[in-house]
């Protein structure tokens, strides 16, 4: 059943009911998904702006109180305490300037506080073989650190078994780490920026909320909606057969 027939010269536009309804359904779906991704991109832009401002503000002192994760995320922190080297772990498959290595994570027992703060102290290259796990020195005694509070639950691609092998972990599983060590941890990970004599490299990328990813997805959904529209138009245009009347509805 044709919804309408429009003649233009020897051509005719005559869409039928069910294919049109199907095309309309998928157009609405893809267009809505594009709008959703555009909205997410706007949210992430606002979040990125907040993080950029936070990075310029004075550091928050970490003491005995438990931090509110959302209010300190990507803020500068300052803290004093003693490193607990017995619970140091190495996060595998971290690359710096094309060289494979590890991120070195050590909890800091905060002065006067019941909660330890897990610190990403920096990057160290792998040994001559995978069997040679590096042993970077841990500063002894009380230290004063500054750094940025980041989400400890960010995960990367895992290769093979996810079970830790000694001090080497594929990813930081924050809950598993707390359960394994028995430590009461602050809800953020500190990316250390303070210089210490430990031979580690601390080159941290600017926090990225992923705006470009959402923009890319939105473009793909809008493109698909446009493609469906063009295909629907093309498939419903054809040469008019001889003897057909010129009907417009």
Over the stretch 39-75, which tens digit does the pLDDT of each residue have? 999 998 988 887 788 778 899 999 889 999 988 888 9
Given this model, what pLDDT does residue 66 score? 92
For the stretch 146-194, pLDDT in tens is: 999 998 886 554 545 566 677 899 889 999 999 999 999 999 999 999 9
pLDDT in tens, 215-241: 999 999 999 999 999 999 888 887 766
Answer yes or no: is pLDDT of 77 > 60: yes
Confidence of residue 247 (pLDDT cuts 50, 70, 90): very low
pLDDT at 140 over 50: yes
Query: Domain-by-domain residue ranges, the chain?
Result: 6-48+211-239, 60-192
pLDDT in tens, 123-133: 999 877 777 88
Quick check: 242 pLDDT over 60?
A: no
Mean pLDDT of the chain, nearest integer:
86
Question: What is the C-alpha end-to-end distance of the chain, expressed in Å?
Answer: 13
Q: What is the pLDDT of residue 3?
A: 63
pLDDT of residue 155: 56
Three-class secondary structure assignment of the chain: CECCCEEECCEEECCEHHHHHHHHHHHHHHHHHHHHHHHHHHHHHHHHHHHHHHCCCCCEECCCCCCCHHHHCCCEEEEEEEECHHHCEEEEEEEECCEEEEEEEEEEEECCCCCEEEEEEEEEECCCCCCCCCCCCCCCCEEEEEEEEECCCCCCCCCCCCCCECCEECCCCHHHHHHHHCCCEEEEEEEECCCCCCCCECCCCCCCCCHHHHHHHHHHHHHHHHHHHHHHHHHCEEECCCCCCCCCC
Average pLDDT over residues 242-248: 51
Task: Report the range of poorest mean pLDDT among 21-30, 34-43, 55-64, 238-247.
Answer: 238-247
**β-strand 237-239 against 11-13: which pairing, if any?**
antiparallel
pLDDT band at 141 (very low <50, low <70, confident <90, very high): very high
pLDDT confidence band for 248 (50 / 70 / 90): very low
Query: Between 44 and 207, whose confidence is greater?
Result: 44
């Amino acid at each position: 059943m044709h919804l309408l027939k429009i003649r233009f010269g020897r051509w005719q536009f005559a869409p039928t009911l069910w294919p049109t309804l199907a095309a309309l359904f998928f157009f609405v779906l893809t267009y809505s998904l594009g709008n959703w991704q555009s909205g997410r991109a706007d949210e992430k832009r606002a979040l990125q702006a907040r993080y950029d401002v936070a990075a310029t503000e004075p550091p928050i002192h970490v003491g005995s109180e438990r931090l509110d994760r959302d209010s300190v995320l990507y803020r500068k922190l300052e803290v004093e305490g003693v490193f607990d080297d017995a619970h140091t772990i190495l996060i595998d498959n971290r690359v710096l300037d094309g060289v494979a290595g590890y991120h070195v994570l050590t909890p800091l027992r905060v002065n006067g506080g019941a909660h330890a703060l897990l610190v990403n102290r920096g990057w160290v290259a792998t040994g001559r073989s995978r069997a040679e796990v590096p042993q970077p020195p841990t500063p002894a005694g009380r230290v004063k650190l500054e750094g940025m509070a980041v989400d400890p639950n960010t995960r990367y691609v895992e290769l093979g078994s996810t079970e830790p092998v000694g001090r080497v972990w594929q990813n930081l599983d924050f809950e598993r780490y707390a359960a394994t060590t028995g430590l009461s941890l602050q809800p953020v990970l500190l990316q250390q920026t303070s210089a210490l004599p430990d031979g580690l490299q601390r080159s941290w990328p600017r926090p990225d909320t992923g705006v470009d990813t959402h923009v890319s997805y939105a473009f793909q959904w809008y493109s698909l909606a446009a493609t469906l529209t063009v295909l629907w138009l093309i498939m419903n245009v054809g040469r008019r057969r001889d003897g057909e009347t010129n009907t417009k509805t």
